[in-house]
Amino acid sequence: MNIHKIVESIDFFGKSEPNRVAYQSNSSQYTYGELKSKSDALASYLEKNLKKNGPIVVFGNLEFEMIVSFLGASKSGHAYLPIEEHTPRERIEAILRVAKPSAIISVADWTLGTQNIPVIAKNELLGITKEEVLYEAKHLVQGDENFYIIFTSGTTGEPKGVQISHDNLLSFVRWTMQEFKIDQGLRFLAQAPFSFDLSVFSIYPALVSGGV
For the segment 14-31, what is each residue's pLDDT rounded down to a tens digit?
999 999 999 999 999 999
Contact 6/200 with Cβ under 8 angstroms?
no
| Average of per-residue pLDDT across 84-96 | 93
Give the pLDDT band (50/70/90) at residue 154: low
Residue 1 has a pLDDT of 72
Would you list the DSSP string of 100-120? --SEEEESSPP-S--TT--EE
Helices (H), the chain: 6-16, 32-49, 64-75, 89-99, 122-130, 166-179, 204-208
The DSSP symbol for 3 reads -
Separation of alpha carbons 13 and 38, rounded Å = 14
Residue 157 has a pLDDT of 66
Q: Cα 100 to the chain's mean position, in Å?
A: 18
Give the pLDDT band (50/70/90) at residue 113: confident
| Average of per-residue pLDDT across 74-85 | 98
pTM for this model (two decimals) = 0.96
Residue 89: pLDDT over 70: yes
| Average of per-residue pLDDT across 57-77 | 98
175 versus 51: the higher-pLDDT residue is 175
Average pLDDT over the chain reads: 94
| Average of per-residue pLDDT across 124-152 | 96
Beta bridge mates, 40? none
Residue 185 has a pLDDT of 93
| Average of per-residue pLDDT across 189-193 | 88
Residue 147 has a pLDDT of 98
Residue 76 has a pLDDT of 98
Residue 131: pLDDT over 70: yes
Query: For 134, left (φ over 0), alpha (ψ -120 to 50), or beta?
Result: beta
Residue 190 has a pLDDT of 84
